[in-house]
């Protein structure tokens, strides 16, 4: 069946473009008219064009920020009374990302065909997370889809703020490290060999720092490509290891034990745990289903294992707090607040308070880690530059003495 690209106008007169499969152009026009669009132009797509657009949609990534924006816009439209199908079609027309636009359009067509919103979302698991789908399903069941979407929008904004804080904190140290490595490599491969040639031709006795730097320069110049390949190979091996449950667990365990950085990693994971759990439970998602989603979204395999043990406890009729206490991975304050919330029936409220508390600790932890990492990087760079300068100046002083 051929594919057509079309240009149409909606009920408000706004231009809408897209692609659709239809037996003929007349059938395409009839289908779009049934959906509330007035067709102004259609064009049949060649197979290579269809394949290219399909490949582009498959390869193009959907960023977290784009999903947050989609979430917020959909929430606002539903709250002001715009029907779900109309809201999805408007968002499809406004979305710039091809992959996300295609997914929204497919969801809209499936909803129009009679599927529920949550069922239509499950057809795109790589774009819409289990957290999003489960909460939408809970909203449809309870008849409070607008409230659920509002909670999802707030949750997405919290997560976006947390990501932005972490990205901002990491940008400067990473930039400093890259610039420092670049400067050292330039000096070692470009400047030092020229000075060494002068020193060796002049017969100046070289001190130990200069000899070490000379050896380093020779190794980098003659074996730099192999060293780079080794570094890339180690990076690829580490990346593959992190894709395995065992490798990820070892990495997360090591991160949690690091000074300064470990407490920040733990607080970020606990904030995500509490915020996700609170959002799900307050939206009416069953407790076991909520825990299964929380296990996948904590971002830390060690804490994910603890959440899995909580699932087992709840399934057997036990409590939430006891496995958290036994694991010793959750701070006593967090365990106590969850225990109080569980016994008093205010678990979602306590989880919200806990998430706010750890959000505050994350902000303080980022400032503390930045204050620790930046001077450390500056000291390392300063020490490296001082070593290089000393290695160059000491032979120069000896050369001056010889000339005199």
pLDDT the model gives residue 51: 45
Assessment of whether the complete model's pTM goes beyond 0.75? no
Q: Name the residue with tokens 């806990």.
A: 354
Q: Which CATH architecture has domain 164-404?
A: Up-down Bundle (1.20)
* Boundaries of every domain in the chain: 3-59, 64-155, 164-404
| Share above pLDDT 90 across residues of the chain, in percent, rounded to a whole number | 0
- pLDDT score, position 6: 73
pLDDT in tens, 286-313: 888 888 888 887 888 888 899 999 999 8
CATH topology match: 3-59 vs 64-155: no
- pLDDT tens digits, 253-281: 888 888 877 888 888 889 888 888 888 88
pLDDT at 59: 47
What is the model's pLDDT at position 2?
67
Distance CA 31, CA 16 (A): 14
pLDDT one-digit tens code per residue, 8-33? 776 766 666 666 667 777 777 777 77
Neighbour count for residue 36 (Cβ, 10 Å): 14
Q: What pLDDT, in 10s, does the model give residues 18-76? A: 666 677 777 777 777 777 777 777 777 654 444 444 444 444 577 777 887 888 888 88
For the cut 80, the answer to whether the pLDDT of residue 399 exceeds it is no
pLDDT at 52: 41
pLDDT (0 to 100) of residue 212: 82
If one compares 154 and 51, the residue with the highest pLDDT of the two is 154
Q: Could you tell me the pLDDT band of residue 189, with boundaries at 50, 70 and 90?
A: confident
**Fold of domain 3-59:** Ubiquitin-like (UB roll) (3.10.20)
Question: Which CATH superfamily groups domain 64-155?
Answer: Type II secretion system (T2SS), domain F (1.20.81.30)
Q: In this predicted structure, what is the pLDDT of residue 387?
A: 82
User: How large is the average pLDDT for residues 154-170?
Assistant: 77
């Amino acid at each position: 069946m051929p594919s057509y690209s079309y240009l149409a106008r909606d009920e408000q007169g706004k231009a809408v473009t897209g692609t659709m499969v239809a037996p003929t152009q007349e059938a395409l026009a009839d289908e779009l008219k049934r959906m509330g669009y007035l067709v102004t132009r259609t064009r049949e797509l060649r197979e290579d064009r269809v394949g290219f657009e399909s490949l582009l949609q498959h390869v193009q990534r959907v960023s977290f920020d784009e999903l947050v924006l989609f979430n917020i816009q959909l929430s606002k439209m539903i709250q002001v009374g715009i029907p779900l199908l109309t809201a999805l079609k408007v968002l499809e027309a406004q979305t710039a990302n091809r992959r996300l636009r295609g997914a929204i359009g497919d969801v809209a067509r499936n909803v129009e065909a009679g599927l529920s919103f949550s069922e239509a979302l499950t057809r795109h698991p790589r774009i819409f997370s289990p957290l999003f789908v489960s909460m939408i399903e809970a909203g449809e069941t309870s008849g409070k889809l607008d409230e659920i979407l509002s909670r999802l929008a707030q949750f997405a904004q919290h997560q976006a703020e947390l990501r932005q804080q972490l990205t901002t904190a990491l940008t400067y140290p990473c930039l400093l490290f890259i610039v420092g490595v670049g400067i050292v490599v330039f000096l070692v491969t470009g400047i030092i060999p020229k000075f060494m040639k002068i020193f060796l031709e002049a017969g100046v006795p070289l001190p130990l720092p200069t000899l070490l730097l000379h050896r380093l320069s020779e190794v980098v110049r003659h074996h730099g490509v192999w060293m780079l390949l080794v570094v890339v190979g180690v990076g690829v091996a580490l990346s593959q290891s992190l894709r395995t449950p065992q490798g990820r667990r070892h990495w997360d365990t090591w991160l949690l034990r690091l000074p300064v950085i470990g407490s920040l990693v733990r607080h970020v994971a606990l904030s995500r745990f509490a915020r996700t759990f609170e959002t799900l439970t307050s939206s009416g998602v069953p407790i076991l289903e909520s825990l299964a989603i929380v296990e996948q979204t904590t971002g830390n395999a060690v804490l994910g294992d603890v959440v899995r043990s909580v699932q087992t406890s709840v399934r057997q009729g036990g409590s939430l707090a006891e496995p958290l206490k036994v694991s010793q991975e959750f701070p006593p304050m967090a365990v106590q607040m969850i225990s109080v919330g569980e016994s008093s029936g205010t678990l979602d409220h306590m989880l919200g308070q806990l998430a706010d508390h750890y959000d505050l600790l994350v902000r303080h932890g980022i400032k503390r880690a930045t204050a620790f990492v930046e001077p450390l990087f500056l000291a390392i760079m300063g020490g490296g530059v001082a070593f290089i300068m000393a290695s160059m100046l000491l032979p120069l002083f000896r050369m001056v003495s010889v000339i005199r």
